Amino acid sequence: MLRSFLKSRSTSHDPFQQRWAYFQGNLSTIPAAISLVESVPEDKLRDVTFLERELIPSLGLNNENLWEQPAELSKFFGTGLHIFQYPNQFACYLVWLAEHGKDSQTYVEIGSRWGGTFIVTCEWLRRIGAPLQSAIAIDPIGETPMINLYGQHLTRQHIDYQFILASDACPDTTALWDALKTLEAATFTASEFTDQYPSVDGSFLGIGALKRNAV
């Protein structure tokens, strides 16, 4: 009791720890998100506009690095799953998965942060009928409360779940992605989702996907 009190006192001014505690208290967002993805009608699975403008914002967007984010989405910042990716990239990626990911048995996300895109992508794969058997989230910040709770959900669904605390091998996701793309070019085809918002000054974020080539 005393130890947890002292710990909370010593970390209460650390914004990162405060954020961790915030997520601990907002876990009801996960069952709500699962239901929302499950309820996407068949005729909306390839509807980029619906996914970009309705589904993804309503699942909740992140509120870190707001200078990278389009101001027109501000009412969704700091809500729900705190998805960090741009909705205009993530929507195209989900449609790409609906077209190319129906046979996916494994999903690995490098850079899962709070868990937003990891949770949505796993649920999306299940929604499109993929036989998901294994899901792995990787991030140097650790297994966040949302990822931990969602991992328990996956386990209950008999999907093998792992969180890997790593990044040291490559401190830069772009460098890692470029290396993977090049080294795996003979086996995997790479797709990239890097649309930007004209209202944002600069070029930020991005999603990459590798699909194993048919043998």
- Token match 């961790």: residue? 20
Q: Closest approach of Cβ 80 to ligand SAM, in Å?
A: 11
Closer CB to ligand SAM, 40 or 81, in the complex: 81
Q: Closest approach of Cβ 185 to ligand SAM, in Å?
A: 20
Q: Closest approach of Cβ 136 to ligand SAM, in Å?
A: 11
d(Cα 30, Cα 13) in Å, to the nearest integer?
Answer: 27
Q: Closest approach of Cβ 60 to ligand SAM, in Å?
A: 10
Q: Closest approach of Cβ 6 to ligand SAM, in Å?
A: 28
Closer CB to ligand SAM, 180 or 190, in the complex: 180
d(Cα 120, Cα 89) in Å, to the nearest integer?
Answer: 14
d(Cα 55, Cα 37) in Å, to the nearest integer?
Answer: 8
Closer CB to ligand SAM, 83 or 122, in the complex: 83
d(Cα 136, Cα 164) in Å, to the nearest integer?
Answer: 7
Closer CB to ligand SAM, 82 or 158, in the complex: 82
Closer CB to ligand SAM, 6 or 66, in the complex: 66
Closer CB to ligand SAM, 41 or 88, in the complex: 88
Which residue is nearest to ligand SAM, using beta carbons? 111
Residues at the site binding ligand SAM, with contacts judged by CB under 6 A: 83-85, 110-114, 116-117, 138-141, 167, 170-171, 173, 176, 205
d(Cα 215, Cα 211) in Å, to the nearest integer?
Answer: 12
Q: Closest approach of Cβ 62 to ligand SAM, in Å?
A: 6
